[in-house]
Structure 1
Amino acid sequence: MLTRFLKQHTGPLTRDLVQEPGHFGLGKIPSRLMPSSAATSICGYCATGCQLKIHLDENGEAINLSPQAGYPVNLGMACPKGWQALDPLDSPDRATAPLLRDAAGNLVETDWATALDTFTTRLKGIREKHGRDSVAFLSTGQIPFEEMSLLGCLFKFGMGFLHCDANTRQCMATAVTAYKQSFGFDAPPATYADFEESDVIVLVGANLCIAHPILWQRVMRNQRNPDIIVIDPRATETAQAATRHIALKPKGDLALLYALAHCIIRDGRVDEKSLANTEGFAEFAGFLKDYSPAAMAGRTGQTVETIEALARTVSDPDKRVSWWWTMGVNQSHEGVRTAQAIINLCLITGNIGKPGTGPNSITGQCNAMGSRLFSNTTSLVGGHDFSNAAHREKVAQGLGIPVENIPSEYSMAYDEILAAAESGKIKGLWIVATNPFHSWINSGRLAALREKLEFLVVQDMYRTTESAQVADLVLPAAGWGEKDGCFINSERRIGTLKAVRRAPGLALSDFRIFRLIAHSWGCGDLFSEWTHPEAAFKLLRDLTKDRPCDITGIEDYAMIDRLGGVQWPFPKGSEVSQVANLQSRRLFEDGVFHTPDKKARLLFSPPADLPEPPDFEFPYTLLTGRGTSSQWHTQTRTGKSDILRKLYPEHIYLEIHPADARKLGVKDGDVVNIRSRRGDIEAAVYVAPTVQRGQVFMPMHYRQVNQLTHSAFDPHSRQPNYKACAVAITRKKG
């Protein structure tokens, strides 16, 4: 039965369709790409969502690319990663066939029939022995949301498991939770046009020049001569280009934001109209009495005068003030309350729902917003709630599945899944398009965790990732450029990506792999309508009806392309003119939110101490972040490009203040040992006044860094605190 299905859907097992000229993944080159000499696709790196123009040869295969002129996101621009987006597809370490660990402990090539039978037999055996809570998956924000949703629905509704999460937990969980609690829904209100329409732009823990260079170019297009304020411990590239740098103490951001709100309320610089649309102002004002600039100066590292001046700037009623944050806020032990402190400032000053304003999170991964709405991990697919019976009934009816297949319980979060694996509760783990054995905080724990697992499956486009190397089974997946689907960027804009290359060897799109698994598992009939990504898109589109993310007005992929992407919401009956090409839309212009009483919530709690402050034994605070605009996450893809590798240092390095370098007796290029309570590594010294005394910085892209980081988590979002931990530094002898 399985062999017949494989022949129907992948061609003969010894001659997969992906090897035949003129085919992509499991089908022929889409007619829309032939005989045209170009296609468009959204870049697969960060969540800026740039559109690229992909140039095709006579066979319809991509040969090079350029940024798409006129697209409302990047306006004809691209960063180094975008220009080299095709390079990772040609890497010699691509996974081109399933790999199965043999009795001798080696990963050896096998066929799809054997791989699928092994996958099904092993995981069903674990479930039968240990129950439905014994298997979990960890997924990604870097595959199309059609694939994400098929995975989540298959795992929960078809295979009958519960626990799953995506690596957006490392990226955007803080922003998601903050928006849900404050607005009643995960609803980032901004549009990128606000960068160009603000009078004051405040960037908190956001190094746009490096992490989101196209968004920095949008800032540079602003003709209003904006005051650009960067709040960051480091003098980052963005801080150096700004008009004002607030050199904060590490994790002093929440105290600073409360001090600003204290000044604004004390001086009566609030917007009464906006306050009428909020709940909790009296309680918030009372709470802030203890957060005067004088009381918070020591905690923030700022003078009273600096705090007072900043408070006046961000509450000027004649200025449009926008706030933007990224991982410097999100990856924190108190990130949710910090994000909500930004939201609170916007609400009390009326800087929301108007051009050039808003509390705006900038997403890290290309499809983190798609994961938030459609992955079926923490939220029920389509922006619904697992605990809501009406939502479960709606989803069941829309997808044609029994309502009893939909769990009412929530999954464990990423860190809780790994902790359950450490304790022996999770016995089987399926990792899809992510690399936690490199990227997870305090990564040394995963080696011990691996020994507790009975079965580890890694589904990825490369066989050489740290996670794939320790797997029992590796499923070879197609990458960006080898499949169709949609991404959703930070401004809620849905854009399409296209298959413009053949996946190598026996590699298949994640969408097709999930369909094969569904059939092998015996639940393929539940997903019979999920025939291809666009069919899945239409199922998901219809599920969003009457939700804040309603996109029922989108007809098909062609409409998305024709309109230059579509921002949600776009319910059926919406005027197409609202989204025509360069038109952009922001949320909450009417002051109505998604809470039961339609009012936003002002939420707050006292700042917590730094989880691991420096001390006598570990006197330095290690900060982490992006290194260069040509590096991406664990360098799994950017490391495959000869050009990109030339744009950043090959070896790991440590930025250290000149005074600290003199104290340690080190200079540029010297090798030092960096030790935390969890491990020790070596790195070359880079003496730089961009870090403050007592602080050091390392780029997060190098595999060694997360051997040092500290396992602290935000209590509301469960997002890890990657940004600050205590370390000791010694010069390497010899």
Structure 2
Amino acid sequence: MKSHQRKPEILRAWNGTKTAELLRSPGKFGLGQVPDKKTPDATTSMVCGFCATGCGLNIHLKEGEAVGLTPDTRYPVNIGMACPKGWEALAPLQSNERASQPLLRSSRDSQLEAVDWDTAMKAFSSKFKAVQEKHGKESVAFISTGQICTEEMAFLGSLSKFGMGIKHGDGNTRQCMATAVAAYKQSFGFDSPPYTYQDFEESDTIVLIGSNLCIAHPIMWQRVMRNKNQPKIIVIDPRKTETAVAATHHYPIAPKSDLTFFYGIAHILIANGWLDNDFIAKHTEQFDGFIEHVKTFTPEFVSQKSGIPAEDIYELACMIHEGKNVSFWWTMGVNQGYEATRTAQSIINLALMTGNIGRPGTGANSITGQCNAMGSRLFSNTTNLLGGHDFANPEHRAKVCEVLEIPDEVIPDAIGMPYNQIIDGIESGSIRGLWIIATNPVHSWINQGRLKKLLGQLDFLVVQDMYSTTETAVHADLVLPAAAWGEKDGTFINSERRIGLAKKVAKAPGQALSDFNIFRLIAQYWGCGELFKKWTSPEAVFQMLKMLTNNQPCDITGIEDYQMLDKNGGIQWPHPAGAELVDNQRRLFSDNQFYHPNGKAKFHYEAVKPLPEPSDNAFPFTLLTGRGTSAQWHTQTRTGKSKVLQALYPKHCYVEINPKDAHELGIESNSMVTLKSRRASIEATAFITPTVSPGQVFLPMHYSEVNQLIQDVFDPYSSQPNYKHSAVALFPAKKINQTVKQSQQVGHT
């Protein structure tokens, strides 16, 4: 009998064992461990599972189960602080919308019905194999996440690509961090955010670009507030965000004029000789070409394009020159653009040319979004081969084969398609089966109407999630119920490269399994279980991942085990074998050595491209999107389940409109308005505020209707979508009664 036809050990145990007994079984089936009911009340610490700040939380246990939490005062990230999401981290686990058993649609027109795991796994394997047999191995793809544990990401990427023959797979980190990955690789030779959070406290000049730190990463903002150097805090953002209000300087540049703006800053620095010439000569290359490139970006030209007066541009260049420790920080306002990689590199160039890198309080620093986006970047087999290796490099493939004890021929010799090309593949018919893990693209992906139609063209759609009610799960042919953060063990890697522990402190509902164990089941039913015989538990996988990083920039061979991570409050990579863990706040490039073969960083630059969708008479407004509150997270899949967090944020979609525009259009505060793009139209409540400039409107990304409006445009190097700039029209909707108006009133959060 073939291995995929037998019930694997884990499933045989499940079928014959009570749920609670199995889940408390001490690691026999790799399911983790919750302390027994007889265990005295206790406290354990772990990292938060929301954003990539990676805060430490104390989880308080009663009779062995989590009943509450408080911020960890000893953890070097948050030092006893937590944002609203952190305080409510346990609440989403209790939702009655949790996926608690597999759900299968027997035909395209039927409803999802509960089935057992054996039936679900047979359907998963038989349906996807049928697609591959009919249309080729590459006709099945996966879309993953930055939310599951590193060990689970590695298992998924290895199972799919090495065991199932799935070449094309990507993560939703393509939506947030792909630009930073591409920029760092090209500039530094490796995906290497150089900073530590301590740099927030040691800079004398902090430049925040497209980053509303107060709202998006409030604990990082608190680290800024701990800075004793009375720093200049400079915000470059079209909106007068909460961070801009709190800053010492705000430059409200025209949307997507960033690249021109930073080339203009470089022009002034070069023209005045405000450079670290010794650093440039010894540790960089391609600077002469960059000098020539920015000659035409005069203050007058840049002022015309950016809307910032020439004297103000000069003022900013002076502050960068006069700062002793200047740090540059960017996030989605830069990453989510049609020329985002070159924009990120224009920031990196400023740090390089002024020598503001490798020293305390400096750096060209990309702030990550999801809790484990860095784990996805390094270990998910999406942007590179495991551990930052190259699929096309035979030596790298041989190393992976040796560590994992797998044959060379199972590893593809080229990376698969990115997210947007997978979606295009559904339209062209080359992708016929799709497996979506811990992400909600029907909400989060651009041009939603197109995506919804395309999902209906698939032969088989599997959604693996902790909830069965997401906008994406309701389209699935098969739903696999997954355990959530707090219900499984593993590691996350935060923005500053700190590897921290997630722990199992609660039981998953019903028959839900950790993603790790779902992958174990799939391996057995698919018939490739023998290939993954060493993948017995998350910590066993962590030990293999350590060996894969040997001699890589992200080398963590010096981390002994989970206990070492727990004891030290997480550990930043790199930490190679034999290294002494002296300081748990470490930055990269203190030796001025980068990861290109010659040890030098590279200046990258390119001609500025025109806007892909400029405003015109039919669509006169520029739509901006972003985080609207620190109380909600991305698609609200989890935070929307917390009554406390819901109370801190308007329930209905609202749009920020400048008072001048509202007056001209006859729009009143809290009235309903219609926003229309070339793709769709939506309604929202008007919030009239001077924080947006005339001609611009802002929608928070958390509402499901927002991404219907966004265009299908991508950065050519990172394939990251251009979320931050679309042309829209705005006009009053029909009048609504006063009761509804009062229920939808919004405030500036």
TM-score, length-scaled by structure 2: 0.95
Q: Is 1:11 aligned with 2:13?
A: yes
SS at match of 1:508: coil
Query: 1: CA distance between counterparts of 2:342 and 2:47?
Result: 32
Identity of aligned residues (%): 58
Cα 1:535/1:287, change in 2 over 3 Å: same
CA drift of 1:596 comes to 1.2
Taking the aligned partners of 2:41 and 2:542, their CA distance within structure 1 comes to 24
Instruction: Quote how far apart the aligned CAs of 1:712 are.
Output: 0.8
How big is each residue's C-alpha offset from its partner over 1:584-631, in whole Å with a ceiling of 9 and x where there is no partner? Answer: 100001111000111000000011112111100000001000010001
Measure the CA separation in 2 of the matches of 1:368 and 1:167: 9
Please state how far the C-alpha of 1:32 moved relative to its aligned partner: 14
- Which residue number corresponds to residue 436 of structure 2? 431
1:726–1:8 CA distance, 2 compared to 1 (3 A): closer
Cross-structure match for 1:66: 70
Aligned AA (2:306): T
The alignment status of 1:608 with 2:606, answered yes or no, reads no
Does residue 120 (structure 1) correspond to residue 125 (structure 2)? The answer is yes
Instruction: Pick the aligned partner of 1:409 from 396, 411, 414.
Output: 414
- Give the counterpart of 1:283 among 278, 289, 313: 289
Q: Which of 32-41 and 703-712 deviates more?
A: 32-41
The answer to whether structure 1 residue 297 and structure 2 residue 303 are counterparts is yes
- State the shift of 1:730 in Å: 1.3
Report the counterpart of residue 360 of structure 1 in structure 2: 365
Report the CA distance between 1:5 and its aligned residue.
3.9
Quote the offset at 1:15 in angstroms.
5.1
Report the residue type matching 2:15 in the other structure.
Answer: L
Whether 2:97 is the aligned partner of 1:96: answer no
Q: Distance in 1 between matches of 2:35 and 2:493?
A: 22
> Which of 226, 231, 234 is the equivalent residue of 2:236?
231
- For residues 41 and 290 of structure 1, the distance between their equivalents in structure 2, rounded to whole angstroms, comes to 52
Contact 1:18/1:503, CA 8 A, preserved across alignment: no
In the alignment, is the contact (CA less than 8 A) between 1:638 and 1:645 conserved in 2? yes
Letter matched to residue 11 of structure 1:
A
Question: In structure 1, what residue type is equivalent to 2:77?
Answer: V
Change (3 A) 1:621 1:16: farther
Structure-2 residue corresponding to 1:655? 656
Write the distance in 2 (CA, Å) between the matches of 1:191 and 1:28.
33
Q: Is the 8 A contact 1:481 1:499 kept in 2?
A: yes
Task: Give 1:326's match in structure 2, choosing from 316, 331, 347.
Answer: 331
Deviation at 1:115? 0.2
Give the match for residue 46 of structure 1.
51
Does the aligned pair in 1 maintain the 2:53–2:219 contact within 8 Å?
A: yes
Offset, 1:4: 6.0
Choose from 156, 162, 178 the match for 1:173: 178
Q: Residue 478 of structure 1 aligns to a residue in which SS?
A: coil
Is residue 2:525 matched to residue 1:559? no
Aligned partners of 1:105, 1:252: CA distance in 2, in Å? 50
Larger deviation, residues 29-38 vs 382-391: 29-38
Deviates more, 1:401-410 or 1:507-516: 401-410
Answering whether residue 631 of structure 2 is matched by residue 630 of structure 1, we say yes
Aligned to 2:85, the other structure's residue is in SS state helix
Task: Give the Å deviation of 1:576.
Answer: 2.5
Q: Aligned pair 1:513/2:514, yes or no? A: no
Give the C-alpha shift of residue 148 in structure 1. Answer: 0.3
Q: Normalising by the residue count of structure 1, what TM-score does the alignment of the two structures yield? A: 0.97
Corresponding residue SS for 2:582: helix
Question: What is the rounded CA distance, in whole Å, between the counterparts of 2:12 and 2:542 in structure 1?
Answer: 22
Residue 102 of structure 2 is aligned to residue 135 of structure 1: no
Residues 303-312 or 101-110, more deviating: 101-110
Cα root mean square deviation, aligned: 1.5
The SS at the match of 1:179 is: helix
SS in 2 for 1:121: helix
How many residue pairs are counted as aligned between the two chains? 728
1:664 corresponding residue in structure 2: 665
Deviations 1:452-480, CA, capped at 9 Å, x for gaps: 20000000000000110000000000001
Give the drift of 1:422: 1.1
- The answer to whether the aligner puts 1:530 opposite 2:532 as a matched pair is no
Find the residue that maps to 1:673 and give its secondary structure.
strand
**Which structure 1 segments of 5+ residues have no match?**
none
Give yes or no for contact 1:23–1:502 (8 Å, CA) kept in 2.
no
- The change in CA–CA distance for 1:2 and 1:133 in structure 2 (over 3 A counts) is closer
Q: CA deviation at 1:451?
A: 2.2
Distance (whole Å) between structure 1 residues aligned to residue 577 and residue 23 of structure 2:
40
Shift of 1:41: 1.2
Match among 371, 374, 380 for residue 369 of structure 1: 374
Q: CA deviation at 1:273?
A: 2.3
Partner Cα separation in structure 2 for residue 94 and residue 501 of structure 1: 14
Match of 1:243 in 2: 248
- After superposition, residues 182-261 of structure 1 pair within 5 angstroms as 182-261=187-266
Secondary structure in 2 matching 1:264:
helix
Once the two structures are TM-superposed, the CA of residue 42 in structure 1 deviates from its matched residue by: 0.7
Does residue 673 (structure 1) correspond to residue 674 (structure 2)? The answer is yes
With over 3 angstroms needed to count, the CA separation of the structure-2 counterparts of 1:706 and 1:19, relative to structure 1, is: farther
The amino acid that maps onto 1:13 is N
Alpha-carbon contact 2:40-2:62 (below 8 Å) kept: no
- CA-to-aligned-CA distance 1:267-317 (integer Å, 9 cap, x gap): 11100222020001110001110111111111111111001110111122x
Give me the whole-angstrom Cα distance separating, in 2, the residues matched to 1:623 and 1:340.
22
- One-letter amino acid of the counterpart of residue 402, structure 1: P
Retained in 1: the 8 A contact 2:11–2:118? no
Aligned to 2:503: 498
Q: Is contact 1:205–1:327 with CA below 8 Å preserved after alignment?
A: yes
Letter of the 1:291 counterpart: F
Q: How much has 1:3 moved relative to structure 2? A: 8.0
Shift of 1:11: 2.6
SS in 2 for 1:576: coil
1:16 is displaced (CA, Å) by 5.0
Equivalent residue runs for 1:567-586 within 5 Å: 567-578=572-583, 583-586=584-587
Which amino acid is the alignment partner of residue 425 of structure 1? S
The answer to whether the aligner puts 1:388 opposite 2:389 as a matched pair is: no
Q: Hey, what's the Cα distance between the residues in 1 that align with 2:116 and 2:96?
A: 20
Q: Partner residue of 2:622? A: 621
**Aligned-pair distance for 1:664?**
0.8
Could you list the per-position Cα deviations for residues 193-213 of structure 1 after superposition, in whole angstroms to 9, with x for gaps in the alignment? 000000000000000100000
Q: Residue 80 of structure 1 corresponds to which residue in structure 2?
A: 84
Give distance in 2, aligned partners of 1:315 and 1:483: 48
Is the contact between residue 422 and residue 448 of structure 1 (CA under 8 Å) also seen in structure 2? no
